[in-house]
Structure 1
Amino acid sequence: MATVTPARDPRTAAGRGEGDGAIIARSQQEPECFAEVFDRHYDAVHGYAARRLGASLADDVAAETFLIAFGRRGSYDVTRGNARPWLYGIASNLISRHHRSEVRQYRALARTGVPAVAEGHADLVAGRLDARATRGALAAALGSLSSGDRDVLLLVAWAQLSLQGAAEALGIPDGTARSRLHRARKKIRAALGETDPLREDLN
Structure 2
Amino acid sequence: MNNLQFLVFLGCTISEIKIYMTCIQSNTSYLLRNPINPCFLSLYDVYVVQGSKCLRELTWLIFAPNLTSIDIQCSDQPEDIRSKDKASVSEEPGIVPFRKLKFLRLSSVPELMNIYWTPLPFPCLKTIVAIGCPKLKRLPLDSTSGWEGEKGLVIRYREKEWIEGVEWEDEATKSRFLRSCVKV
Is the shorter-chain TM-score for this pair beyond 0.5, marking a shared fold? no
Higher helix share: 1
TM-score by length of 2: 0.29
Which structure has the greater CA radius of gyration? 1
